[in-house]
Amino acid sequence: MKLKTLLLATAASVAFAAPAVTQDAELPPCENCADTMTLVSWGGAYQTSQQKAYAEPYAAATGVTVVWDESSNEAVAKLRAMNEAGNVTWDVVDVVASDAIRLCDEGLARVMDPETELAAAPDGTSAADDFGDLLVSECFIPQIVYSTTFGYRTDVAEWNGKEPEDICAVFDLEAFPGKRSLEKRPINNMEWALLCDGVAKDDVYDVLETEEGVAQALAKLDTIKDQVVWWSAGAETPQLLADGEVVIGSTYNGRLFSVIEEQDQPVKMLWDAQVFDLDGWIIPEGLPEDRLNRALHFVKFATDTQRLADQAKYISYGPARASSAPLVGTHADLGIEMAPHMPTDPNNAKNTFLYNYTWWADNRDDLDAKFQAWLAQ
């Protein structure tokens, strides 16, 4: 529960703090460092926000050439292949927390020392304290708090003017007919299914631990299976919603923000039962010294207080440092306040679901296999 308290605290300070004065620490020179660097991320609006907030200022300050690879959704597989070959071509990789845990467990990501390798907050708070509970793995440097939640179209004629109010609308084909999009993996979907099948929030993982619980969740998903378009990349749901191919779909909240606010589509957020998750950097194990130095130098720069706050100018994800929260301001192009669009904003976070990292790390292989078998049937 500590994670949640911290997130809400972050949100509160986001909402009430006045825009703080930007202060740029002098970037120390990088010694014995490579001239180019490959960053791996997710593509789309998210990568753009990283490019603007981190990569461009860094390149301007150092003259380094940055190459982007949009392979984050296959990061674990590709890193394993590279590791086997002894030829790691990536320098800094953006992954979600669960992948970071897996990479760290398998010895594919480098263990970080937050005290020496990350920047302290402007007020002197150590990085470890500033990130706090969000350092869920020794290898992981969190950047943002995001949530997986639903967006729906507001112009569906068959809904007769009704709008979904809670998560169970997704499973209600009678009141809310039409295609839905869900992620092609068990995580989150299984939990939502159980929540809407009468399981109490606190019991979800206990139920899911049993064979019957898995069957129950899949049976609930079965009721909407032939209406579901399954996505594997975060940009799919926004596109499907914008094209009218689906009427409601899950994705990351920042992607929905850009559909609603930037592209002005008739889409609204359904924040109910949003699932918080973390996204951040890892540095692969086995980099040659000059590239490792470059990666460390970049990561220290890109995860300092100001930079994390800067990213929120471009996308509606909450910065992972407590000290960045007061610095979050307005959107770079639209000029709107970003705070009400953060998943952690009290208005949006009335009913949230906490994702259990350890449980999923232990059970992911089993549930993946069962879910995929169910999907193929």
Partner 1 sequence: MSALPPYSSTAQITWYYAFRVICGLIFFFLIFPIIVIAPLSFNAENFFTFTPKMLALDPEGYSLKHYRDFFTNPDWQQALWNSVRIAPVATLLATAFGTLAAIGLSQSHVPFKSTIMAVLISPMIVPLIISAAGMYFFYSRIGLQGTYWGVVLAHAALGTPFVIITVTATLVGFDRSLTRAAANLGADPVRTFFKVQMPLILPGVVSGALFAFITSFDEVVVVLFLGSASQKTLPWQMFTGLREQISPTILAVATLMVAISIVLLTVLELLRRRSERLRGMSPG
Partner 2 sequence: MSSATTDAAISATPDDGVVRAADGTPLKKSLARALRREKTRSFLLIAPLLLFILISFIAPIADMLFRSVENNIVEDTIPRTVEALKEWDPDSDELPSEDVFAALHADLEIAVKQRIHTRLGSRLNYEASGMSGLFRKTGRSVRRMDEGNYREQFIEADEDWGELETWRVIRRFSAPYTAGYFLNAVDAERTSEGIELKPENERIYLTLFNRTLVMSLAITLSCLLLGFPIAYLLAHLSLRTSNMLLILVLLPFWTSLLVRTSAWKVLLQQQGVINDFLVWIGLIDDANRLVMINNQTGTIIAMTHILLPFMILPLFSVMKTISPSYVRAAKSLGANDWTAFWRVYFPQTIPGIGAGAILVFILSIGYYITPELVGGTSGIFISNRIAYHISSSLNWGLAAALGTILLALVMLLFYVYDKIVGIDNVKLG
- Give 71 or 189: the residue with its C-beta nearer to partner 1: 71
Sequence-ordered strand ranges (E) for the chain: 36-40, 65-69, 92-96, 141-153, 180-183, 228-231, 248-252, 267-282, 318-319, 352-353
Q: Angle at CA 341, nearest 5°, toward 55 and 347?
A: 145
Q: Site residues (CB under 8 A) for partner 2?
A: 74, 76-78, 80, 102, 104-107, 157-158, 179, 184, 229-230, 243-245, 361-366, 368-370, 372-377
C-alpha distances (whole Å) from 8 to each of 135, 250, 329, 345 are 17, 22, 18, 7
- Give 81 or 128: the residue with its C-beta nearer to partner 1: 81
Query: What's the min distance (Å) between Cβ of 191 and partner 2?
Result: 18
Q: Which does 86 bind (CB under 5 to 8 A by kind): partner 1, partner 2, none?
A: partner 1
- Residues 242-261: x where in contact with partner 1 by CB under 8 A, - otherwise, as a string: -x------------------
Kindly identify the residues of this chain, within the stretch 296-355, that bind partner 1 according to CB under 8 A: none
Pairing of strands 141-153, 248-252: antiparallel
Residue 39, both tokens: 């960053």
Using an 8 Å Cβ cutoff, are 307 and 315 in contact? no
Query: What's the min distance (Å) between Cβ of 206 and partner 1?
Result: 36
- Give 51 or 330: the residue with its C-beta nearer to partner 1: 51
Kindly identify the residues of this chain, within the stretch 34-93, that bind partner 1 according to CB under 8 A: 38, 40, 43-44, 67-71, 78, 81-82, 84-87, 89-90
Residue 203, both tokens: 């019991």
Q: Is 235 in the site for partner 1 (CB under 8 A)?
A: yes
Give the Cα separation of 285 and 248 in Å (integer).
Answer: 40
Give the Cα separation of 319 and 253 in Å (integer).
Answer: 14
Query: What's the min distance (Å) between Cβ of 291 and partner 1?
Result: 14
Size of the site for partner 1 (CB under 8 A): 25
Give the Cα separation of 98 and 152 in Å (integer).
Answer: 27
**Residues in contact with partner 1 by the rule CB under 8 A:** 38, 40, 43-44, 67-71, 78, 81-82, 84-87, 89-90, 232-236, 239, 243
